[in-house]
Structure 1
Amino acid sequence: MKDLGEHPQTTTLSERAYGMVREALRCGVYKPGEKITHRSIASQLGVSVTPVREAITRLVSEKSLSMPAPKTIIAPSLGQSDLEEVTKIRVNLEGWAAELAAENASATFIRELEHLHLVYCMHRRAHDTKAKIEANAKFHFALYAQSKAPRLLAIIDNLWVTIGPTLGLLASRGFEDNDGERFHEAAISALKARNTAAAQAAIVNDILTARLKILQILETE
């Protein structure tokens, strides 16, 4: 997750709080169903509770967070039917974004993507779960941004805000295989070859493999 100091000074405190919580959800910082307090966010930002409250209200209205009771703020938690719905949408949209990226990717971008992949691998092998989750998100969104389709990217971003906590839970549960590495490498190879079908397949296989692992977790809870 980006350091808060990186935000421009012109950004309002409410917008900073909104962006911080949204990115934390997307990167799996919060666990599914985890309670989030206004005070904890305000403390991290070093601001009063008022702009944080405004940001949370906005996120609740977008369905990114739920508020079943006053002052009770909860991160998204997916059941099996929710997972199936989100997975089907992700397969179509993220697969399409990967196809478009394969058409647009330059040699310079591919080198940048390879660097992001190396960072992901480094954190995975160091068993740094938090850094691994964030590195994985950076890899995927760099790839999807190369689709040059901002509306598509915005929809995918919203999906990740919803599923991010669940993906974070998956990463923290000890699945230490190298599936993520394999699919990332397959996507990079596809971009080098400008093979749109292979790029789509790499991302779709990544999503579907994650789905199976998440189902294993849901079945035991």
Structure 2
Amino acid sequence: MDPIERSDTLSDKAYERLREALMSGAYKPGDALSIRGLADTLGISATPARDAISRLLWERGLQSGPFRTVLVPKLTKESLGDAYEVRLSLEGLAASLAAPRYTDTDVAELEAIHKGHVKAVNGRNYRAALAANESFHFHIYERANNELLLEIIRGVWLKLGPSLNLLYPKYVQTRQGVTHHEEIVSAMRKRNAGLARKAVEADLRTGLQELVQALQEESRL
């Protein structure tokens, strides 16, 4: 069969924008979304906004709430552990695949993203820090040259992204995230697959510990 040619629709573009916002932590766990609110934010009609929300409900990036509301899911300790089991396996693999493929230009780009992350952390601009963190990680994973692996990682980040807000501001006070990113950049500069995997996994393990602690503190409030 001959392929059907078409450009992205408004629904597709709205979906991509909302999906990216969830992955990068633009929304927090428990935030409520509405079709009208999303439509107004994106400057579109209600229909493509509704389609985008419906797709993300199906992907479990969003969940239905009471009184026909749509909510950003809250992760439990158990679901967080499940997500990080997948992250450790797949993101460590992606880093090891990407490292030998890194060019001098790639290293320079990764260093620039890292500097932007540090600047956001130092300025306590946590929204920008979350966005830079996502850009940093996916700069690496996209260079693993494995579309299936990348697709699965993106699916995990869709569900996890909002919960990364729980890392701030405490996580930046310890500077652990910054230190791990410096180790990752160093591994990529050396094109060392083993070091790259080890550094990414260390970053993830530290983040998991902090997130579990944040969830425990939140449950006591």
- TM more than 0.5: yes
Deviation digits for residues 171-190 of structure 1 (CA, Å, limit 9, x no counterpart): 25564221111111111111
Matching residue within 77, 81, 95 for 1:80: 77
Deviation digits for residues 137-176 of structure 1 (CA, Å, limit 9, x no counterpart): 0010001111111111111111111000111232255642
Once structures 1 and 2 are overlaid, which stretch shifts more, 188-197 or 113-122? 188-197
Q: State the TM-score, normalized to the length of structure 1.
A: 0.92
1:84 Cα deviation after fit: 0.7
Distance of 1:173 and 1:41 partners within structure 2? 30
DSSP 3-state at the match of 1:138: helix
- Give me the CA root mean square deviation: 1.4
Contact 1:133 1:171 in 2 (8 A): no
Contact 1:105 1:191 in 2 (8 A): yes
> What letter is aligned with 1:143?
I
- Aligned residue pairs, count: 212
> What letter is aligned with 2:147?
P
Matched, 1:104 2:101: yes
> What letter is aligned with 1:22?
R
1:11 Cα deviation after fit: 3.3
Contact 1:76 1:163 in 2 (8 A): no
Distance of 2:154 and 2:67 partners within structure 1? 27
1:116 Cα deviation after fit: 0.7
Q: State the TM-score, normalized to the length of structure 2.
A: 0.92
Matched, 1:151 2:151: no
Distance of 1:125 and 1:41 partners within structure 2? 31
Contact 2:130 2:165 in 1 (8 A): yes
Distance of 1:144 and 1:110 partners within structure 2? 13
Matched, 1:46 2:43: yes
DSSP 3-state at the match of 1:182: helix
Aligned to 1:196: 193
Once structures 1 and 2 are overlaid, which stretch shifts more, 70-79 or 29-38? 70-79
Alignment of 1:14-53 (within 5 A): 14-53=11-50
For structure 1, list consecutive stretches of 5 or more residues without a partner in the other structure: 1-9
Aligned to 1:129: 126
> What letter is aligned with 1:169?
L
Distance of 1:135 and 1:180 partners within structure 2? 12
Contact 2:121 2:172 in 1 (8 A): no
DSSP 3-state at the match of 1:21: helix
> What letter is aligned with 1:36?
L
Matched, 1:186 2:179: no
Q: What is the identity percentage for the equivalent residue pairs of Structure 1 and Structure 2?
A: 36
DSSP 3-state at the match of 1:146: helix
Distance of 1:76 and 1:27 partners within structure 2? 15
Aligned to 1:142: 139
Distance of 2:151 and 2:212 partners within structure 1? 26
Distance of 1:115 and 1:175 partners within structure 2? 19
1:70 Cα deviation after fit: 5.9
DSSP 3-state at the match of 2:168: helix
Deviation digits for residues 18-53 of structure 1 (CA, Å, limit 9, x no counterpart): 111101110111111211111111001111111111
Contact 1:37 1:71 in 2 (8 A): no
Distance of 2:172 and 2:42 partners within structure 1? 33
